[in-house]
Amino acid sequence: MRIDIDAFNVLQVLVEEGSFAKASERLHKAQSAVSYQIKKLEQHLGVTLFNRDHYRAELTPEGKVILAEGQRLLQHLANIEHLASRYSQGWEPKLELIIDGALPMEPIMSALKLMSEHNIPTKIQLNMEFLGGVQHRFERDQADLMLVKDYRTGPSYHPKSLPTITSVLVAARLHPLSQRRDISLPELQQHVELTIEDSSPGKRARDEMQFGGDKVFYLSGFIMKKNALLKGLGFGWMPDFLITEELANGELTTIDFVGGNRFSFTPQLVSTSERPLGRAGQLFTELILQEFALYQQQQTGLSGAGLG
C-alpha cells in the first residue's frame, strides 16, 4: 500500500495545533485516528517524526524537514486539483489556432496578449500558414480555430466574419509598371509577378488572384514579398495595412491595371462543431472580434482610407 498524502495534512494540523487532541478536534476526527495516521506515516517513511519522551510530543529535526516537504507536496496536489477544476469549468487544456499570414498580425497579437492576461489554464498553440495551407493544417492537426482569408466549406464549419480587408496591386516607384496607364492583362503578364507560396502540400494550381504570366516569383511570406517589391523585383498584391507608409511616401505605387487594382476580402474565424470551442476558444473569439474592430478604427482614423 502506498503512502497516504492525507497524512501530511494531519501532520501539518498536528504541528500547528501542538497536540494530538486539538488536532483531532480541528480535523473532526477521534484522537486515536490522528495517532494512527502519524504512526502509519512514520512507518511508511521509516523515520521518527515525533519525540514522545516528554509530556507533549515534539517534532524531531527530521520531522521538521518532512513537514516542510509534505506541505510542498500538498501544494503541488492542490495545484493539480485547481487545474482540474478549471477544466471542469469548461476550460480546454489546449487551444490550437491556425492563422493566415495574409492577415494583420497586430490585432491577433493584441488578442493573444489579452488572453494571457486572463490567466487561463489553456495552453495556446499558434501556427501561421499561407493560402490553402491554413485549411490543410486546420484539418490535419484537428485544430480548434482557423483565421482565414477564405476557405472551402467543410464538415459542419461555423464561420464568423471579421472586418473586411483590402489588398492593392502595387510595384516600386521605379518599376516600369508604375510609369504606365491603362495597363492590359497581356502587358502585366510580361512582368515578374511576386506571390506568396501556398504552404499546403497538395497546392492548388494557382491562387485565384494570380495573373497567369510566365514570370512568377514565389516568396515565403509578406515580409519577403514587401522587400522584393521595394527592390523593384516585380509587382504584386499587398494588403493595404502593410504598406500604408510606403504608399504615402511614394516608395510603392498602385498599378493602373484595367481589371482593377484593389480587391477586398472578409477574413473568417472558423471552428467546427466536431470540436466545439471551450471557454478559451470562446474568449479568443470575443477578443479577436474586438481587436479587429479596434484595429480597423485606428486604421481609418489614421489614414482616412478605410479597410472596407
Partner DNA sequence: CAAGACAATCTAAAAATTTGATTAAGTTAA
Partner DNA sequence: TTAACTTAATCAAATTTTTAGATTGTCTTG
Interaction between residue 92 and a copy of itself (CB under 8 A): yes
Q: Per-residue string for binding with a copy of itself, 20-59, x by CB under 8 A?
A: ------------------------xxxx------------
Kindly state the smallest distance separating residue 291's Cβ from a copy of itself, in Å.
26
Reduce the DSSP state of residue 268 to 3 states and report it: strand
Which of 54/152 has CB closer to DNA? 54
Of 26, 56, 90, 93, the residue at the interface with a copy of itself (CB under 8 A) is 93
Q: Which residues of 228-259 are buried (b: 16+ CB within 10 A; e: fewer)?
A: bbbeebbbbbbbbbbbeebbeeeebbbbebee
Q: Which stretch binds a copy of itself (CB under 8 A): 68-76, 101-109, 188-196, 284-292?
A: 68-76
Question: Contacts with DNA in 8-47 (CB under 7 A)?
Answer: 18-22, 24, 28-33, 35-40
Alpha carbons within 13 A on the beta-carbon side of 288: 26
Which of 56/72 has CB closer to DNA? 56
Of 120, 299, 136, nearest in space to 204 by CA: 136
Kindly state the smallest distance separating residue 82's Cβ from a copy of itself, in Å.
10
Which of 72/140 has CB closer to a copy of itself? 72
Reduce the DSSP state of residue 61 to 3 states and report it: helix
Kindly state the smallest distance separating residue 216's Cβ from DNA, in Å.
48
Residue type, 233: L
Interaction between residue 64 and a copy of itself (CB under 8 A): yes
Kindly state the smallest distance separating residue 34's Cβ from DNA, in Å.
7
- Chain mean position to CA 1: 43
Q: Say which entry of DNA, a copy of itself, none residue 38 contacts (CB below 5 to 8 A, set by partner kind).
A: DNA
Of 166, 168, 167, 161, nearest in space to 293 by CA: 161
Kindly state the smallest distance separating residue 6's Cβ from a copy of itself, in Å.
4
Interaction between residue 73 and a copy of itself (CB under 8 A): yes
Of 26, 39, 56, 76, the residue at the interface with a copy of itself (CB under 8 A) is 76
Interaction between residue 83 and a copy of itself (CB under 8 A): yes
Interaction between residue 81 and a copy of itself (CB under 8 A): yes
CA dihedral 14, 17, 20, 25 (to 10 degrees): -110
Size of the site for a copy of itself (CB under 8 A): 33
Q: How far apart are the first and last CA of the chain?
A: 68
Interaction between residue 3 and a copy of itself (CB under 8 A): yes
Helix (H) or strand (E) holding 254: strand 252-254
SS3 content of the chain, % helix, strand, coil (to 5): 45, 20, 35
Reduce the DSSP state of residue 113 to 3 states and report it: helix
**Dist CA 231 CA 118 (whole Å):** 43
CA angle 112, 93, 96 (to 5 degrees): 50
Of 272, 283, 247, nearest in space to 262 by CA: 247
Interaction between residue 85 and a copy of itself (CB under 8 A): yes
Residue type, 132: G
- Footprint of DNA on this chain (CB under 7 A)? 1, 4, 6, 18-22, 24, 28-33, 35-40, 50, 52, 54-57
Q: Which residues bind a copy of itself (CB under 8 A)?
A: 1-6, 9, 44-47, 61-62, 64-66, 69-70, 72-73, 76-77, 79-81, 83-85, 87-88, 92-94
